[in-house]
Amino acid sequence: MGSDLSPLDLVVIQIDGLHVGGAGAKQAADGGALTASHVLLATNAYTDDLWPGLKRTMFPLQSLQIATAPLAEDARRSILPEGHVVSDTRRLLLYFRLDGRGHLIVGGRGTAGERIVARHVAYVERAMRRLFPQAAGAAREYVWAGHVAVTVEQLPHLHELALGLMAALGYSGRGVAMATLLGKLAAERLLKGAAADTPFPLTPMRPLPLHALRLPVLAAAMQYYRLRDTLDILLR
Ligand SMILES: Cc1cc2nc3c(=O)[nH]c(=O)nc-3n(C[C@H](O)[C@H](O)[C@H](O)COP(=O)(O)OP(=O)(O)OC[C@H]3O[C@@H](n4cnc5c(N)ncnc54)[C@H](O)[C@@H]3O)c2cc1C
């Protein structure tokens, strides 16, 4: 399998095991094995047990978005008319934009679990109607969610786990630019070793204690932060 791959191939496979040996890593995948001299684990919130302890270095949290039906032209003109994409500064931040077809898209935090919870959708929808009353009458057309990896300090982590094996994760909901940059830095480090210019700290992996208790702890923390965000608005 490995001999058929060129650097430009896009390979989508589920990796079920990772074994480090010699100068590289050998990955046992469905139906075969793949040998690589350089491996970057970029599994972010979906990190599983491929590398012991890695998934305990962050908390997977839902980022949840809703989209209205396309808005009427006059409402579109009054909402972010220059096409800005915005995120705010509350503890559980909200982000919003209009797409090219006039859907108003608003996102926020969901649960630490798998399912989409109705009251979190309602929270984002209420915020949307408060921020943009001109869209209040628009029906909600879509709801979707995925997981982001949140670290304690809300900054990403770059780890050198073994010779030829790196991991980059923990963008805390801001990975579109950061993951692209850290991917490039990790690739340079893998190829050039210590000679690479890596202007981002390479840190040892630190699994969080009591990670198994994260679901109730995160649920309580999110309720607390939501309450404080609401009080900030009410007491302003
Ligand atoms: C609804 C939503 C809105 C967001 N909005 C923004 C935004 O506006 N701006 C922003 O900067 N960020 C945003 N984010 C966050 C951003 O999407 C992530 O930070 C970014 O995708 C991280 O990129 P990544 O490549 O590290 O990980 P991901 O894109 O999460 O990719 C990880 C991949 O690893 C794969 N994987 C895991 N385990 C294995 C395995 N064993 N074998 C093979 N593959 C495996 C997974 O299937 C997945 O495809 C948003 C996220 C969501 C869910």
Of ligand 1's listed atoms, the one at least distance from the Cα of 87 is 8
Same domain, 97 and 174: no
Same domain, 65 and 24: no
Same domain, 66 and 104: yes
Mutate which of 13, 34, 86, 176 for ligand 1? The one with the most ligand atoms within 8 Å of its CB, which is 176
- Distance from the alpha carbon of residue 45 to the mean position of ligand 1, in angstroms: 7
- Distance from the alpha carbon of residue 232 to the mean position of ligand 1, in angstroms: 31
Q: Residue 114 falls within a domain, yes or no?
A: yes
Instruction: Report residues of the chain scoring pLDDT below 70.
Output: 1-5, 7-9, 22-31
Nearest to 202 by CA among 152, 162, 149, 150: 162
CATH code of residue 123 = 3.30.9
Q: Residue 187 falls within a domain, yes or no?
A: yes
Same domain, 103 and 197: no
What is the tens place of the pLDDT at every residue in 72-91?
A: 999 999 999 999 999 988 88
Is 0.75 topped by the overall pTM? yes
Quick check: helix, strand or coil at residue 33? strand
- Distance from the alpha carbon of residue 181 to the mean position of ligand 1, in angstroms: 14
Q: Residue 29 falls within a domain, yes or no?
A: yes
Same domain, 99 and 183: no
Same domain, 113 and 229: yes
Same domain, 10 and 120: no
CATH code of residue 160 = 3.50.50.60
Same domain, 70 and 134: yes
What is the tens place of the pLDDT at every residue in 111-142?
A: 888 899 999 999 999 999 999 999 989 999 99
Same domain, 78 and 195: no
Phi, psi of 55 (to 5 degrees): -70, -15
Same domain, 31 and 146: no
> Measured from the CB, is residue 17 less than 6 Å from ligand 1?
no
The residue contributing the CA closest to ligand 1 atom 36 is: 43
> Measured from the CB, is residue 65 less than 6 Å from ligand 1?
yes
Q: Residue 211 falls within a domain, yes or no?
A: no
> What is the predicted pLDDT for the residue at 166?
97
- Domain extent for 93: 59-150+216-234
Same domain, 135 and 78: yes
Q: Residue 210 falls within a domain, yes or no?
A: no
> What is the predicted pLDDT for the residue at 1?
46
> What is the predicted pLDDT for the residue at 21?
77
Task: Give the total number of structural domains in the chain.
Answer: 2
Nearest to 56 by CA among 216, 159, 207, 218: 207
User: What are the angstrom distances between the C-alpha of 101 and each of 19, 67, 88?
Assistant: 47, 11, 23
Q: Residue 98 falls within a domain, yes or no?
A: yes
Quick check: helix, strand or coil at residue 211? helix
Same domain, 54 and 115: no
Q: Residue 172 falls within a domain, yes or no?
A: yes
